[in-house]
Each structure stands twice: as C-alpha cells, then as structure tokens.
Amino acid sequence: MNIILSNVGRRFNKEWIFKNIDFSFTGKGKYAVLGPNGSGKSTLLSIVLGNLSPSEGEISYHHQEEIKVEQIYQNISFAAPYLDLIEEFTLQETIDFHFQFKAYEEGLDASKVLSLLGLEKSQDKALKHFSSGMKQRTKLALACCANTPILILDEPTSNLDAQGIDWYLELIKQYALNKMIIVGSNQEHEYSFCENRLSISDYK
C-alpha cells in the first residue's frame, strides 16, 4: 500500500495551515507526523484518512492498482482521543459492533480483545461510565486489532498513565508492526518505533 501526497496544502479561510507537501507513505513503513499543538497534524491526518480534501494538490492511494478516496476507509483503522464512541453501548457491544465492519487480526476474536484490554469485569458496563483512560484503551485496541494494512493514530497516549503507555507500546509490538503506521504526535514515546518523520513546520 502506498499513499502519495503531491503538492498538498490546506488553508483555513485565507491562512495556510501547511502547503507544498510532497511525501509518500509506503509499504509497511512507520511514520511520525510531528509538530507543536495547533500546527496542523490532525488536519493532515484527516486528509490522509480521506475525511478532508486538500485545498491544493492531490492525494492518491495505490495497492496494486489505484484506490478511490471513497473506498480507502476499508483499508484504514484509526484512533484518536477526539473520536467518539457510542456511549450507550456496553464494551462488549462496542467490540461486536466495530468488528462487523472490520475483520479481526489473525488469531484474535472478541474474547481475546476483551482480555487484551484487561476489562473483562466491565464488558457489560456502558461506555459512558468508563474513565477517559479506559475509553482511549478501547479505541486503540479496536484500531490495532483490526486487519487493515494502514493504522493511523493521533495522540495515541492521551489520557493514559505510565502503565497505559507501556500497554500501548506492547499493543503496537504485538499487533501492528506488520502494517503501515502513521502517528500524529509531539511526544517521543508515542512514536519511538517510527523510523520516518514528517515535520509540519517544514511546510508552512
């Protein structure tokens, strides 16, 4: 899978957030999209996800043949602290619902995802009663345990304590290293496994 950005820029009103990005995400590479808060990391990830159109330039997706932007969601899993879960669903219902749309990674099923989260005792609890850390763990597990070639994470350890950060890094190690990973972050522990960097500040 390759994602190619050609002269991509995005502006808000008349102000450019970033411009002239020529960059390729390829194969099973690990990429960190870096920049301070408010620099445009999440905006760029939204363009890569196909949720937002660039103001200039174009983005293309290739896997043996070109994939239309309307279909790319089938190949991507995504987690971010601002991504909403259905608060009225229980944890078990959330897992079952998510994996109606995405296949499990090989060797996983609902009970194993629940065990991986360490929240078996909360499987019948509605997500509205979860802490922010429990919700973030759930988002990360759903994304990492889905069988998609691309994993995109925005500020993945938001709301996680030190133990949660260790859990996140182990989750990546076990279930995501055979994928393309793109991490939007300004904290090194979140992208320590990424060998490639794209700094938003270089495209102002």
Where residue 198 falls among pLDDT bands split at 50, 70, 90? very high
Nearest residue to 137 via CA among 181, 196, 94, 105: 94
Alpha-carbon torsion (146, 142, 80, 165), positive or negative: negative
What is the structure's pLDDT at 172? 96
Where residue 65 falls among pLDDT bands split at 50, 70, 90? confident
- CB-facing half-sphere around the CA of 8: CA atoms within 13 A: 24
Domains of the chain (ranges, CATH numbers): 2-203 (3.40.50.300)
What pTM was computed for the model? Answer: 0.94
And the tokens for 55?
């103001």
**Maximum Cα–Cα distance for the chain, whole Å?**
51
- For residue 200, give the DSSP letter: G
For residue 128, count other CB atoms closer than 10 A to its CB: 11
